[in-house]
Structure 1
């Protein structure tokens, strides 16, 4: 959601290299030489002072690149960071087809500056393969000694603090002789099983409130595939019309356009391959869903809906403009996928969540995987005085750094009330209006990603509710999202913890490079859709059997054997959940 916002607002001002921060006077790179215009009397320096220098960051995250100020040194936050730490920050962003491709080319060329910052939610991401190779080739500095004495990153050594994947596969790997890659946005406490209406995106199927009232149903009570089918039939027989007087389709496409991922909601009861297509059966056998009967249950259910005119025939193919239109005029009685922070939902009050349907185990709880990170950073082995760079990143994740980076300056952009920051009304107005450009250039803080994304992105040890009393700046002050929060409050969902990564994350293993290349040519959901629109049952079978052969030829048995070893060593490494 954030990415789309920033692309729209900032793309027209983007240049090949965006710089955040300019030198104040002639700052020194080594941190030991006083610069023109700097504070020369050490007695006047605050306790947070690090060094009088510039730190250059290369970012490989488009949201960061699209939200840089025109001149960061002129923003209040930039000036305050300089006063507190002595640091000027220069951020470079080079756009490309993919940020990971830019990262790959620059690492290969050895052209990285002091620090690299990239997206990285787990070790299966393509960015991690690049970072690991760079670490092994000596491009990054070992920061383990700095971590031990740091205020925040020292927590990474505490048992159980880091997610399993972060600890074993990213930061403290057995095949590295130190700590080279720091994963970011680690939650201070695992709150993944806590439901907080302020920060919940309630996504999935939504139904017109007027139809709910006309049929006298409880939309949250629709739990099974059979109940869902019966509801669609009742809608069709109810003679409901859209705003143009046309018959509604009981089930319409995703609000943002036809998509295969809506299968996660409309045939949830038949989704056996919970780990990106894979799962483990009651006998301990790892299988892909296509090897089970669930593949036909999914196909048959959707074919029945299409045959009985219970879903829009363009459900999977409609473009985004028309999909939004059929939703907004009410031609879809049920939108297959939207969420409570979409204007059509929280501004109109005309839609309410449906279900969610039970999964194949008979449970409708949302699966969460526990703690996880969001980004990563590493210091170049060529950077001067890397301990100063590490200290700066550590400062940004202290309470003082988080307040400055996310809220701006006390008394100017927020006030402290009972120990918690409260955004000033004039700032809250810009946040609620989505005025990102003003927040970026006139304040320089992140405000939960509405302003300068860099600051929020490179923080860690996150617990916004505990530290600041709200899930994002301004969330506790009301504003434009009351409708979204009301929906989350009225329609809470259960959560269940299933730790581990999706099975396909492990295709990144060196021994599976050829298997991964072959598997990448296969698209299971696309095969399902083709079968759903097949002209005959024979054609359905031919399509399914053809895919079964293809996945075998791609190396399914080799991949299965690898997963079995992973699961045997640590069952929490894979997010499988068979029926108990």
Structure 2
């Protein structure tokens, strides 16, 4: 019976979730007909456009909250929905069911054994929890094999070309050895690998930001703060500088992440001691794979933050402050340095009060941002029970053609944008709503994505992407001058280097066959939580007990077995795991 292997998953992830038939009644949906899929093969298509596919409705179940919360009141009534119907004959009904998390809802629906025509879900790579669900569903025959459709497609035929797909997408997702066909299509594959290029329109400059007034008063170049020692001295200089916030209170030299206290900020504030570059793992110079807790770097991180706490150089609620207060201490300038924000937050790009700090060097003395190369984002699969799956495949293929991408991302030509020298230029009315952040208008009055500002679904399900080449800009309206000018200027003024370190994070391989028990045990361990506990420990003896306790727990969880698996995997393929190259 289809879905039988998912029963145990549902028991632990969504015990109270109803079956698919019940869920449909309470799910958000947009467009199409609630009667499901229908195909009329008797329709005369002689007077139809070349893009015509079939007069039918395709029902899509999305497991992506960004899609679910950006659905129009009625997709078929939007200008984009009507144009897609005219060009392809397709009405699209998109369903989204909120839940504890999207993966849990996906597990529940697959367990029910009944899914609509198409499922669309998150899937950055094969390490995400969604993939194990999709993989089991494919092995159970729940999805249609699309191999034959790919061969004659306009866009997806590229997936068959050697070297086009990222290594993980090719070997671990779409063309797996343990599947007899192609069932899962990863989305958002770049047409060209531009990961080592720096384009200000596309860059999110995240990490630490410092008040510009403090920079000017101290007479420093914030991009030259590169080492842990320099960072520490800057915090001391700020404390001694007598700086105050908007209420006249002394500032904390280092404040929390803009969105709230978070262990993630360790990536920025102790980057020089981040030896475990692959989810805590790395390869030592002797070729031995280790977890960071087996090295002295664990104590370097702990001791650095303990010193900041002892000297009142860091907000004591740095890791625990709620989001509302964290935003407030940033906006009132109570934090001299925000531990993590980026150039597309209003506090940064609209005010001019903040500039990027660092980034700090990593443990090798390099401050370049690591990139993995070509990657995907999201995935889709066609139900094996759908009628005429070749039509569904053809529709998704159309969405990724230049015509489909332009329609889904910019709207209708002549109505929402004009072509100038072959490139789209957003019309003034649309640009005004785009600049004002009027997503509701973009969603219901246009129905296009506009780079994720409107109906996210269209952009999300596209692939073979190269916005800069095809559209002359990396996001709609960027070349026309938008509210994001400040963000783009920051990226221009503070470019960063990139270095290629291919492969998946080491922990992605915990999902491999034979490591089920190791994964279950290691999922109970939280290395960053241990670090924070040790940073707030009352004395050095307790710090040592906490660290040694974690080392013991890691060993009992199956570290040696996992280490052996990683070693064998890395020996066979040096690009399989993104360890830093051995010097």
Residue 74 of structure 1: how far off its partner (Å): 1.2
Give 1:254's aligned residue: 257
Q: How far has the Cα of 1:345 moved from its partner? A: 0.8
In 1, Cα distance between equivalents of 2:36 and 2:320 = 56
Task: Compute the displacement of 1:66 (Å).
Answer: 1.2
Q: 2:522 aligns with which of 519, 522, 525?
A: 519
1:560 and 2:569 are equivalent in the alignment: no
Task: Confirm whether residue 533 of structure 1 aligns to residue 536 of structure 2.
Answer: yes
- 3-state SS of paired residue (1:367): strand
Whether the 8 Å CA contact 1:53–1:87 is kept in 2: the answer is: yes
Cα shift readout 1:341-369 (whole Å, capped 9, x = no counterpart): 11111111011000000000000000111
Instruction: Give secondary structure in 1 for the equivalent of 2:46.
Output: helix
2:217 corresponds in structure 1 to 214
Alpha-carbon offset, residue 521 of structure 1:
0.9
Please tell me whether the aligned partners of residues 283 and 582 of structure 2 are also in contact (alpha carbons under 8 angstroms): no
TM-score (norm 1): 0.95
SS in 1 for 2:515: helix
Counterpart pick for 2:572 among 561, 566, 569: 569
The alpha-carbon deviation at position 409 of structure 1 amounts to 0.4
Q: How far does residue 458 in structure 1 lie from its aligned partner after superposition?
A: 0.6
**Correspondences of 1:535-550 after superposition (within 5 Å):** 535-550=538-553
State the partner residue of 2:433: 430
Which residues of 2 match residues 42-441 of structure 1 at below 5 A?
42-441=45-444
User: Counterparts of 1:284 and 1:218 in 2: how far apart (Å)?
Assistant: 38
How far off is 1:19 after superposition? 2.5
User: Residues of 1 paired with 2:69 and 2:240: CA distance?
Assistant: 49
**Are the equivalent residues in 1 in contact too, given 2:349–2:486 (CA < 8 A)?**
yes
CA distance in 1, matches of 2:581, 2:39: 57
Secondary structure in 2 aligned to 1:55?
A: strand
Contact 1:27/1:53 (8 A) holds in 2? no
How far residue 31 of structure 1 moved from its aligned partner, in angstroms, is 4.0
Alpha-carbon distance between aligned partners in 1 of 2:93 and 2:383, rounded to the nearest angstrom? 15
State how far apart, in whole Å, the 1-side matches of 2:294 and 2:268 are: 21
What's the CA shift for 1:440? 1.1
C-alpha distance in structure 2 between counterparts of 1:15 and 1:576, whole Å: 47
Distance 2:286 2:408 in 1: 51
Residue number in structure 2 paired with 1:10:
none
Large movers: runs of 4+ above 3 Å: none
Q: 1:21 aligns with which of 8, 25, 31?
A: 31
Tell whether the 8 Å contact from 1:31 to 1:385 is kept in structure 2 after alignment: no
Across the aligned residues of Structure 1 and Structure 2, the Cα RMSD in angstroms comes to: 1.4
Q: Matched residue pairs, number?
A: 560
Q: Deviations over 1:484-504 (max 9, x none)?
A: 111110000000010001011
| Contact 2:37 2:117 survives alignment (8 Å) | no
Give the CA deviation at 1:18: 2.3
Q: In the aligned structure 2, how far is the partner of 1:16 from the partner of 1:370?
A: 40
Following superposition, the deviation at residue 30 of structure 1 comes to 2.9
SS of residue matched to 2:503:
coil
1:437 deviation in Å? 1.2
2:215 is paired with a residue whose SS is helix
Residue 302 of structure 1 deviates from its aligned partner by 0.8
Residue in 2 that maps onto 1:33: 42
**Structure 1 residues 54 and 205, CA, compared in 2 at 3 Å: closer, same or farther?**
same
- Report how far residue 27 of structure 1 moved: 10
Q: In the TM superposition, what whole-angstrom CA distance separates every residue of 1:267-316 from its partner, at most 9, and x where no partner exists?
A: 00000000000000011100000000000000111111111111111111
The answer on whether the counterparts of 1:501 and 1:573 sit within 8 Å (CA) in structure 2 is yes
What SS does the aligned partner of 2:575 have? helix
CA–CA separation in structure 2 for the residues paired with 1:489 and 1:435: 26
**Distance between the aligned counterparts of 2:321 and 2:537, measured in 1?**
18
